[in-house]
């Protein structure tokens, strides 16, 4: 009976170990990887990368927080920089580091979390596009002896934020000073001070403040020179672009304010220079009494890093409709600037590693089942031989012949029993250690 129990025990242990491996380490778990966003600026000494830690399962991705995260940047066998931190609830982390000398060529990027690799691979550097900030005059229909031109301060109008529109007046190429301006706006509310007594200064410039109330805005400007009553009025008519749902930047010295007209938990900021992205931040926002979602950030770091423009976005990839770029220390328009690009996508990489790990665990479970089958076959052979010997002894004892009964007295199966016990013991030990090693290696 003990031998029969052992015959049943061996496959039971093998089945349990195999099932534990298949349902444990062999089960494909969510793969966690990191996407690295930034501007691969050749010749830069300061880098600001945005990390998104993502979980992929069944082809679907979602952001997850990861702690800790370590980024290692190297070039060949030389380690250049290391950053340590963690990602927030939205799965976003801002990694900023500096190097002693400008980088060029290709660098190697490795992102890890403990023993897990979240992303790795080469990153070729390229010259970063320059930040272009200049005047941007709007298209319109102008008439009269005075040339009227219009531009938007900082290049952006958005509802429901007050924006500044500049009017430039010139006569025969020279600034037209002292012109009385009359302004009508459709699709916007004019500031009370902008409804009357608007005059051009010695530079031929005047400013008015208006708040867009619609997605399109039409402006009608008339100019009259009180010193030349007989001169016909000069006019400018045209449409002003309004950025629907745009985020807004309100400068304020050492502390600047970011605003969102729609509900958000945070606003993502990128500070840009001619050397790429030099600073990044995720700014929490809260609803103020007016219904606008507001947050603040310090500007000292931006000044020290030579930031020329600031991009605000409602999503980490800066691809949403509310994304807008403002000049950092200018009232002109940002005509061109570096864009956030995907430097390294570690999610497919992590997914491949997870599939490989799960496949290895399943392969190990098959190996354990194969080893168990071999031990079971040996046990069956030993049990068969012992059973045959017992049967022969029993038949001999039942024989009427005295010689046969004497031979039966000498028939014993102790050797087979000892071998059977040894095989059972060795098999259980081998299966146990194999299962423990498998769980340790492919967990």
For residues 113 and 85, give the distance between their C-alpha atoms in angstroms, rounded to a whole number.
10
In the chain, domain spans? 2-26+352-441, 31-127, 136-241, 248-338
Token pair listed for 24: 């444990």
For residues 233 and 245, give the distance between their C-alpha atoms in angstroms, rounded to a whole number.
37
Q: How many beta carbons lie within 10 A of that of residue 30, not counting itself?
A: 16
What does each C-alpha distance from 215 to 159, 187, 246, 363 come to in angstroms? Answer: 8, 7, 11, 61
| 3-state SS class at 265 | coil
Q: Cβ-count burial of 211 within 10 angstroms (0-12 exposed, 13-18 middle, 19+ buried)?
A: middle
Q: What is the pLDDT of residue 215?
A: 83
| CATH class assigned to 248-338 | mainly beta
For residues 287 and 21, give the distance between their C-alpha atoms in angstroms, rounded to a whole number.
50
Q: Give the CATH H-level superfamily of domain 136-241.
A: Immunoglobulins (2.60.40.10)
Q: What is the pLDDT of residue 237?
A: 96
Length of the chain in terms of residues written:
443
- For the question of whether the overall pTM of this predicted structure is more than 0.85, the answer is no
Fold of domain 31-127? Immunoglobulin-like (2.60.40)
Q: What is the pLDDT along the chain (443 residues), one digit of tens a residue?
A: 455 555 556 566 666 666 665 555 556 678 899 999 999 888 888 889 999 999 988 778 899 999 999 999 998 888 888 999 999 999 999 999 888 888 888 999 999 998 888 999 999 998 888 999 999 999 999 999 999 999 999 999 999 999 999 999 999 889 999 999 999 999 999 887 666 778 999 999 999 999 999 888 999 999 998 888 888 999 999 999 999 889 999 988 889 999 999 999 999 999 999 889 999 999 999 999 999 999 999 998 888 888 999 999 999 999 998 999 999 988 999 999 999 999 999 898 888 887 777 677 666 666 666 666 666 566 666 666 666 666 666 666 665 556 655 655 555 545 445 555 555 555 565 556 555 555 555 55
Same fold, 136-241 and 248-338: yes
Q: What is the pLDDT of residue 77?
A: 82
DSSP string, 20-54: HHHHTTTSPPPEEEEEEEE--BTT-SEEEEEEEEE
Q: Cβ-count burial of 183 within 10 angstroms (0-12 exposed, 13-18 middle, 19+ buried)?
A: buried
Q: Which helix (H) or strand (E) holds 300?
A: helix 300-304
Q: What is the pLDDT of residue 101?
A: 85
């Amino acid at each position: 009976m003990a031998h029969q129990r052992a015959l049943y025990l061996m496959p039971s242990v093998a089945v349990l170990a195999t099932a534990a491996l298949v349902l444990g380490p062999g089960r494909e778990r969510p793969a966690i990887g990191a996407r690295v966003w930034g501007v691969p600026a050749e010749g830069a000494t300061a880098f600001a990368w945005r990390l998104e830690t993502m979980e992929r399962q069944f082809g679907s991705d979602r952001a997850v927080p990861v702690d800790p995260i370590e980024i290692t940047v190297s070039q060949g066998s030389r380690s250049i920089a290391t950053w340590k931190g963690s990602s927030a609830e939205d799965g976003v982390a801002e990694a900023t580091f500096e190097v002693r000398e400008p980088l060029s060529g290709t660098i190697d990027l490795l992102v890890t979390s403990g023993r897990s690799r979240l992303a790795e691979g080469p990153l070729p550097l390229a010259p970063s596009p320059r930040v272009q900030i200049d005047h941007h005059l709007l298209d319109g229909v102008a008439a009269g002896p005075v040339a009227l031109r219009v531009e938007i301060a900082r290049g952006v109008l958005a509802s429901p934020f007050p924006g500044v529109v500049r009017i430039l007046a010139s006569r025969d190429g020279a600034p037209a000073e002292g012109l009385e301006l009359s302004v009508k706006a459709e699709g916007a509310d004019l500031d009370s001070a902008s409804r009357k007594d608007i005059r051009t200064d010695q530079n031929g410039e005047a400013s008015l403040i208006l708040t867009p109330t619609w997605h399109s805005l039409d402006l009608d400007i008339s100019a009259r020179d009180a010193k030349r009553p007989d001169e016909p009025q000069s006019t400018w008519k045209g449409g002003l672009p309004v950025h629907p749902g745009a985020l807004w930047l309100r400068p304020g010295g050492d502390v600047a304010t970011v605003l969102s007209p729609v509900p958000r938990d945070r606003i993502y900021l990128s500070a840009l220079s001619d050397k790429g992205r030099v600073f990044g931040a995720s700014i929490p926002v809260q609803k103020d009494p007016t219904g606008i979602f507001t947050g603040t950030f310090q500007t000292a770091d931006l000044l020290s890093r030579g930031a020329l423009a600031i991009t605000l976005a409602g999503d980490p990839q800066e691809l949403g409709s509310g994304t807008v770029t403002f000049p950092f220390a200018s009232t002109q328009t940002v005509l061109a600037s570096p864009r956030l690009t995907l430097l390294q996508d570690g999610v497919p990489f992590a997914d491949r590693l997870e599939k490989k790990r799960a496949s290895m665990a399943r392969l190990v479970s098959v190996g354990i089942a194969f080893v168990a089958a071999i031990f079971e076959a040996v046990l069956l052979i030993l049990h068969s031989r012992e059973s045959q010997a017992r049967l022969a002894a029993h038949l001999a004892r039942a024989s009427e012949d005295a010689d046969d009964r004497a031979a039966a007295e000498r028939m014993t199966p102790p050797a087979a029993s000892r071998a059977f016990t040894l095989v059972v013991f060795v098999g259980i030990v081998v299966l146990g250690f194999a299962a423990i090693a498998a769980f340790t290696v492919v967990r």
